[in-house]
Amino acid sequence: MRRLTFLQQIKWYVITSLIMVIFCFPIYWASVNSVKPPLEIFAGSWFPFLQFKPTIHNWMVELGTEEVRKALFNSTLISTVSTIIVLSIGSLAAYGLFRFKFVGVKRQDIVVWFLSLRVMPPVVFIVPFFIMMKTFGLLDTPCALILINVTFTLPFAVIILWETFREIPVAVVEAAYIDGASEWQIFHKIAVPLSSSAMIAVGIICLAFVWNEFLFALTLTYKEAIVMPVLIGGTEHTRGIEFWFVATRTLLAMTVPIVIALSVQRYLVRGLTLGAVKG
């Protein structure tokens, strides 16, 4: 492997530092503005304890607001339930693609169909879904967002888990089948345990997709089922944008996914790299 020269190392250090600054600056902006007094927001002060005295007033106000607590609860509920449903149905569908042959249909055609659901722009489905949810009386309910998020997140889970199940040695599956195990037992006791890391990784990514979904949440909710992305986007009043509340809500919205991702970081890395290297 060719070693990098000193100038090349400096170049990559500079590029990496710039990328880190670009990605970390929004977090720093939110962290600083969430502890600023409102009058300091427009004063151009960026360094706590040096240019201004930090305060937790913004956090106390936001956590004490029922609208914020409800949005945080809705986001957690919708993301968690949607992820559980996606993993339950997606793992079964992926296992079916892995194990069974379909008469008159090629397996690759089914995979392409699943991929097509992710390629289609979601904005195309806004009006049909709105009419459907209004007809069934599901507007402004968590159930509507759960159904829609499951619909658009399920293809991703199926494709990734199908690729994961394909890494399971065929000899293991055939040995279990010869020993008298049913397909459900093979799925439940062999396929799922061997693919647990990938399932956790897929679950975290699906949860992030659902947590960050904005378009359908904005269209189908208006009061009771509002989620955090919609609440952040609507932080505007007659006196303008209250940046101190935007920053606080942004950090609140980041808390749950970050905590979950850090708690399963070991499985996340293992699941994403499963099958990347073959001996």
236: domain CATH number?
1.10.3720.10
Q: Is residue 67 part of a domain?
A: no
How much of the chain exceeds pLDDT 70, in percent?
91
Q: Is residue 156 part of a domain?
A: yes
Q: What is the pLDDT of residues 197-240, one digit of tens each?
A: 888 888 888 898 999 999 899 999 888 889 999 888 876 665 66
Q: What is the pLDDT of residues 29-44, one digit of tens each?
A: 888 888 888 877 777 7
Q: Is residue 180 part of a domain?
A: yes
**Residue numbers of the domain that contains 200:** 74-272
Q: Is residue 50 part of a domain?
A: no
| Residue 16 tokens, joined | 């990496």
- Domain total of the chain: 1
Q: How far apart are CA 13 and CA 7, in angstroms?
A: 10
Q: What is the pLDDT of residues 249-268, one digit of tens each?
A: 888 888 888 888 787 777 66
Q: How far apart are CA 208 and CA 262, in angstroms?
A: 13
Q: Is residue 29 part of a domain?
A: no
Q: Is residue 11 part of a domain?
A: no
Q: Is residue 28 part of a domain?
A: no
Looking at every residue in the chain, the average pLDDT score rounds to 83
- Which pTM does this prediction carry? 0.82
Q: Is residue 68 part of a domain?
A: no
